[in-house]
Amino acid sequence: MGTDVNPKLKEMLKELHELAHQIQEERNRGEPSLLNLQKVHDKIQQEGKVSPYYKSRLKGMYSTAIADAQAEAQLLQQAIDKIAEIKSYRNKTVTEPKVPVMRRGVLMSMVHKDAANLPLWKASTRYEKPPPLCGCLQADSSYIVPKGKYVAALVKGSEGEDNWILAEVVSFNSTTGKYDVDDIDSEEGRDISYKTHTE
């Protein structure tokens, strides 16, 4: 990336930087609570029993530690969301032309790198269920893959056989229930477009 950074991207990076500072401040603020909690546990172990005094003190200390941890977790979630927003924005604004020929090894390295940066889902409560498309959970039937997403698509080849390909979603036709996709691994060095079923 050159010195000319997109102003919107620059603003989002600034917000992420501020969030990182807030996370560190929150962590520093909550650290004394954890240290005090550890000291109380050490005293209890030395005495070999939990007196009513320590029991009530521990309750208050745990409540404080939980509140601190929740505040830090909330800031971490905001940072994760901001990173996802930055990634999405950068993917939308990339204007470089497609590389005409790309070796499979390079392509697989790109896929592997993207997979390592997949969005992270974190439950806000103990009983919250993960959303569709998290891990192996299937999307609901009304879900439409957004334009520009990379997918594994099952398409009909030139001789009528079914093939799995790495593809980029171009569009979705709601009347036919099919996606238009571009093969990003075409060996001929040119874009090949397919229509594929949603199933």
pLDDT value at 172 more than 50:
yes
Cα distance between residue 74 and residue 195, in whole Å: 42
| Confidence at residue 188, expressed as pLDDT on a 0 to 100 scale | 54
Cα distance between residue 161 and residue 155, in whole Å: 8
| Confidence at residue 147, expressed as pLDDT on a 0 to 100 scale | 85
| Confidence at residue 24, expressed as pLDDT on a 0 to 100 scale | 95
In this structure, are residues 30 and 62 in contact, taking their beta carbons and an 8 Å threshold?
A: no
Render the burial of 63-89: b for 16+ CB within 10 Å, e for the rest.
ebeeebeebbeebbeebeebbeebeee
pLDDT value at 11 more than 90:
yes
When the pLDDT of each residue in the chain is averaged and rounded to a whole number, the result is 81
When pLDDT is cut at 50, 70 and 90, the band that residue 191 belongs to is: very low
Backbone angles phi, psi at 196, to 5 degrees: -135, 150
pLDDT value at 53 more than 70:
yes
| Confidence at residue 194, expressed as pLDDT on a 0 to 100 scale | 58
Q: Which of 158, 174, 114 is nearest to 183 (CA)?
A: 158
| 156: three-class secondary structure by DSSP | strand
Q: Which of 181, 189, 165, 193 is nearest to 103 (CA)?
A: 189
CATH of 136-197, one of 3.40.50.800, 2.60.200.20, 2.30.30.140, 2.40.50.100: 2.30.30.140
Alpha carbons within 13 A on the beta-carbon side of 58: 13
Name the burial class of residue 58, with classes exposed (0-12), middle (13-18) and buried (19+) by CB atoms within 10 angstroms of its CB.
middle
Helix ranges, 7-103 (H) = 7-47, 52-93
pLDDT in tens, 21-36: 999 999 999 999 999 9
β-pairing verdict for 150-156 and 178-183: unpaired
| 164: three-class secondary structure by DSSP | strand
pLDDT in tens, 111-168: 777 766 666 777 878 888 888 877 778 888 888 888 888 888 888 877 778 888 888 8
Domain boundaries, the chain: 7-96, 136-197
| Confidence at residue 189, expressed as pLDDT on a 0 to 100 scale | 45
pLDDT value at 3 more than 80:
no
Residue matched to tokens 């999405």: 88
